[in-house]
Amino acid sequence: MDRMLVVVFDSEKKAYEGKKALSQLENEGSIAVYAYAVIGKNADGTTTLKQGDDPGPLGTLVGTSVGSLIGLLGGPVGLAIGATAGLFAGGMADLNNARVGEDFIDDVRQELKPNKFAVVAEVQEDWTTPVDSRMEAIGGKVYRRSLSEVEQTLDDEHVAAMKADIAQLKAEQAKAHADRKAKLQEKINQLDSKVQALLESAKERRAAAERQAKAKVEILKAKAAALKAKAVGKSV
């Protein structure tokens, strides 16, 4: 199962130990790490990226959910946009792109106080004990949430509601006097623009999700090939 992990620590040193523990768990085959970041919470409430994934195309793409989460926790705006630069701006869009609930964000914010640090990672794990046991042993508090699918139903409902309003306005416009027709047309145009923007946003989110899914497959293939090559090297 694909999940978002946030492990909060009292010191930067412990956070790096947490990142190292994730790598060890991956090498042991307990989890797969798609993307990660080590962050620190500043006194003014902003978040600083201490260490992150390789900035190459795959790392940037798969890190979009991680980047959006960091943005929601007070990080740089650039991280909140991630691989789909310019497409996901604004709090609700970032929340959709992070693919976790507001309650999860609130829980992490309450724990990630100034001068605390955290490891943020998008992982695949079949059970929680390996990560929890390792992180608790080094003083980390683990928060996790399964990543949601790209929402389609809510978008469809919003579009249907706005189209119904447009139809009603057009019906009124047909019976209105000339001076009123122009005002009704302005409202129709505004609603139509919102419909088109919502449809485009949903299309972009689906495309981003598809790119992330493909990138994850490639990362898992690359890691499997690396492990196989390592095993062959040892047997020679």
Please state, in angstroms and rounded to a whole number, the distance separating the CA atoms of residues 175 and 86: 42
Domain ranges of the chain: 2-148, 149-236
Between 25 and 219, the more confident residue is 25
Q: HSE on the CB side for 66, CA within 13 Å?
A: 28
Judging by beta carbons within 10 Å of its beta carbon (0-12, 13-18, 19+), is residue 109 exposed, middle or buried?
middle
Residue 161 has pLDDT above 50, yes or no: yes
Please state, in angstroms and rounded to a whole number, the distance separating the CA atoms of residues 96 and 93: 5
Strand locations in 60-181 (E): 117-125, 141-146
212 contacts 65 by C-beta, under 8 angstroms = yes
32 contacts 220 by C-beta, under 8 angstroms = yes
Total-model pTM: 0.67
- pLDDT at residue 77 in the model: 42
Estimate the crossing angle of helix 153-175 against helix 178-235, to 10 degrees: 170
99 contacts 213 by C-beta, under 8 angstroms = no
DSSP 8-state assignment for residue 150: P
Please state, in angstroms and rounded to a whole number, the distance separating the CA atoms of residues 153 and 148: 13
Q: For residue 103, what are its two tokens?
A: 């309650």
Q: Percent of the chain having pLDDT more than 70?
A: 80
- One-letter amino acid of 11: S
Between 54 and 220, the more confident residue is 220
The arithmetic mean of pLDDT across residues 168-177, rounded, is 90
Q: In what order do the strands lie in the sheet with 47-52?
A: 47-52, 31-41, 117-125, 2-9, 141-146
- pLDDT at residue 188 in the model: 92
Q: Which own/partner contact pairs does 79-88 have at CB distance under 8 Å and 24+ positions apart?
A: 79/49, 83/208, 83/211, 84/204, 84/208, 87/204, 87/208, 88/204, 88/205, 88/208
- pLDDT at residue 160 in the model: 85
Q: Percent of the chain having pLDDT more than 90?
A: 29
Work out the number of other CB atoms within 10 angstroms of the CB of residue 91.
12
